[in-house]
Amino acid sequence: MPPILIQPTATEESGTPMDTVGLPTFNAVPVPNLIGLVAWIRNPDFAAALPSGKATIMRELVPTLLAETDTLSGSKFARKRRRIYDGIAAAFNGTVIKEDEWLDVVCGIAHLCKVNFIFVRSAESVEESKDKPEELQGASKGSISFSSDPATWDSETSLYVVDYHGRWLAVPSDKEERPIQTLVSEWLKTGAVGWIVNWPVVDATKEALVAELSALPNWMPTHSKLKKDVLAERLGRIRAERGFFSWGE
């Protein structure tokens, strides 16, 4: 699938500028819900449709999505197929999806759609309380996470920056001609200040982690004394950044 250059629609669907997120050449285009997000990605007529037309497109899309969950057998989402199935139905019906199930649902949908998502979760959208997610503790703006390990991504797969709860997706402005992959790599290099980036964690033995990290610049012998989880996070970030930043070269 070739890199996409999305053009915003006219009217209010052009969305609002995303300067506060560090993406000044993007607009946040609102979508009705998670099903609307998928419809926007899959159906080129959705963005410009009237509300009644959008409702019809989403209603017709749901049975297709539900049937596609059968293809999750044999994938890493196999054991979560039922959760993803129920989550799709809940999103369409307006039923609340539990917080601890939400990420499985949206990541499963990314897998079904054969796209990659970068999730933006604004700290302002989360009520300040003792129940505030750990990932947002101490974040001045919010968090950034991924639908799968970015180290496995390639620049040919469609990539979308979306709201964590599926309320909007980021669309390059009509003056932006660079591929979204290039824009995202630049954003993560310099524009994500104040955001907590939840880099993937490498699943490997400590010996394997040390072996790979010790071959990289800035490694010091004392680093081998760090805990395994610290090394796993460090290597996950290095691998992901290596892939992202190669897109902008």
Q: Convert the pLDDT of each residue in 116-143 to its tens digit.
A: 999 998 876 544 444 545 544 555 688 8
Q: How far apart are CA 126 and CA 132, in angstroms?
A: 7
In the predicted model, is pLDDT for residue 85 greater than 60? yes
pLDDT higher at 13 or 136: 13
Q: Which two structure tokens, joined as six digits, stand for 185?
A: 């790599």
Q: What is the pLDDT of the chain when averaged over all its residues? A: 85
Length of the chain equals: 249
Q: Is 48 helix (H, G, I), strand (E, B) or coil?
A: coil
Task: Report CA dihedral (130, 131, 136, 141) to the nearest 10 degrees.
Answer: -80
In the predicted model, is pLDDT for residue 87 greater than 60? yes
**pLDDT band per the 50, 70, 90 thresholds, residue 11:** very low
Q: Is 117 helix (H, G, I), strand (E, B) or coil?
A: strand
Mean pLDDT, residues 70-94 taken together? 95
pLDDT higher at 52 or 8: 52
**pLDDT band per the 50, 70, 90 thresholds, residue 103:** very high
Mean pLDDT, residues 166-184 taken together? 81
pLDDT tens string 28-72? 999 999 999 999 999 999 999 999 999 999 999 999 999 999 999
**pLDDT band per the 50, 70, 90 thresholds, residue 25:** confident
Fold of 11-198: Cathepsin B; Chain A (3.90.70)
Helices marked H in the chain — which ranges? 34-42, 51-68, 81-93, 99-113, 180-186, 206-213, 228-247
pLDDT tens string 191-225? 677 888 899 999 999 999 999 999 998 899 999 99
Mean pLDDT, residues 107-119 taken together? 96
**pLDDT band per the 50, 70, 90 thresholds, residue 238:** very high
